[in-house]
Amino acid sequence: MMEFPGQLIYWIVVVMMMMGFYIVIAQGNFVKKIVGLNVFQVSVFLLYITMGKVTGGTAPILADGIEIYSNPLPHVLILTAIVVGVATTSLGLALVVRINEEYGTIEDDDILEQESDA
């Protein structure tokens, strides 16, 4: 059985992940979809950062008198993933700007309507 308080952070991860996923699916506005995508990605970042924590461990900087360090590797990995996330968000927003220029709207329904006419 999962101890509820002990696993709280994982519950937060799962809830955030589903929230982000739901926003991506349910929202018709292209900017809001990207916000949802970001929430979704951040939940995975949290998952990685959480798993690097060692109970009683401190920041992984070598110092006298410290025996236990947290695992820095997941943090480094997530640094890369954050960079990728920023790149994706900026590219997505750039596309939204271009879509707005061409279609005059960023609502999914309106765009589908215009595309079915074309």
Q: Per CB under 8 A, which of residues 35..54 are in contact with other proteins?
A: 37, 40-41, 44, 47-48, 51
- Cα-flanking dihedrals φ and ψ of residue 7, to 5°? -100, 15
Contacts of 66-75 with CB under 8 Å at 24 or more apart are 74/48, 74/49, 75/48, 75/49
Q: Is 95 in the site for other proteins (CB under 8 A)?
A: yes
Q: Which of 33, 30, 36 is nearest to 105 (CA)?
A: 30
Q: Is 63 in the site for other proteins (CB under 8 A)?
A: no
Closer residue to other proteins in complex, CB, 4/116: 116
Residue 115 CA to its chain's centroid (Å): 30
Q: Is 66 in the site for other proteins (CB under 8 A)?
A: no
Q: Where do contacts with other proteins occur on this chain (CB under 8 A)?
A: 17, 21, 24, 30, 33-34, 37, 40-41, 44, 47-48, 51, 74, 77, 80-81, 84, 87-88, 91-92, 95-96, 98-99, 102-103, 111, 115, 118
